[in-house]
Chain A
């Protein structure tokens, strides 16, 4: 068994040495296809992160009951801040709320012209922890907050949140379908490129079959060769994404970060890199199996 593996590996490496141009072309094709796939996955991840940031920006607001006097507001803020999933709580006093509203623009200022700050309640502006992005969890938190004596109502922008969650779901499922389509296209392109390499060696395959080689004897070196092309392509693609992530992504984050809610753009993740390399190896091997199949019948 070991002898066979050594034999097939030797044949595969020998073939790569013999045709470095074709091997480089195959590896480059795999790398290109995987860069597209990796960029798509990372783009999707960034978009999802952006959606979550926007979701968290619509923070939870707890309205303090009118009957609770100003001296108790700070104690209430501390009480709320103790709850799990809450990163911070800011106390917005009525006059601050009014000032903020007026600052929105002249139309907003005109709207509250003559309104006394007494009619506005104090508000506890709650900032959620980064991992706290699930609507059901926020709903549970809202229910819990309403049970605290002194809290009159809790607003967490349910409708906006539901819309956002819908968007994230679309991104996830749409992304899955999109990812599968890109994967299929990648497999198709890789298989066709490998077919070119196999076509160049069809005579050898024909003679191997003539002297009694089984289909797997013919396939094995090509499968190893395809896996090596896939490995090289996968490592190349992961390396390229890492370079872009290291040198381009930080500048991109600075350039568009403010507009996009302070998002830190990431174009590389270790798990995506591992996935790319594994997909590269599998694509290379599977592409070789498919490409060799049509040349297995002897036509001498």
Chain B
């Protein structure tokens, strides 16, 4: 029977939540890596038993953990994230040059075709690749070495590379997003990159529509139509129909167009989910009501999804890697909050239930659909 496995990274460890296809009764395992920040946990789409986890600490640095048995056991692999060549500088918050310094791995993106290959997005922003299951890491330095690199600057959470997408139709095409540099695309498997930020407008930078400097929070696409990208920017929900060459706003009637997460329905390429947050200074839902918004028209027209979600006195945040979608026939949607709740909708967002409600603050949620 089909089932799902939800991989949850939190401020104090990782958790694995499992259920059959009904998604009503849940087995909760963890914490794994107790006390450590787990920024991201993600499985290989080729081998579902191969799972990678980013374990980090401001005191003790970065560890990459790997499981080859679906999360039952784990072993540390490589943590040698050395920038290629002379690291150089980027802009600091005050606009002065600041040396590139590795802090942590924000996001792990296993290859769509090879379980040994995985990409890592790190802070300070750079992209690393391993082709041996996470043991050794090499920087794809064409990204950080882009002509604009010295202009990149950190967002409020640091200068992190948090989104990595491999095009399902063209393995040489990669998309990444960096706070606060913007979105970038490679058409040669990560060797060279170009900014894809035309159409974005951002306050807080001298030139509102500059080539780089935009605080992109998340990008998502549907596998059947990888030229259509959806973006939750700091402010504004955006859409591109040309693989990022140009963007236009689809925030429409959202109560706030600030937020972190964005994702696409597994079977409906024009059905998109966001979770509005009040503002960049008020990181909780508008009016204290936790509402996912769904557009069935690829943006602009949004409906609130509230059934089963708290509609008063809710002051949690939902961070950029904390929403995921399964691919069961009745599409499931998942998200985790800084209050430690993980919610599931097994009917594409129409209604919601709590899987767990008292975890440490949730940093990331990824779901595996198991045969």
A binds B: no
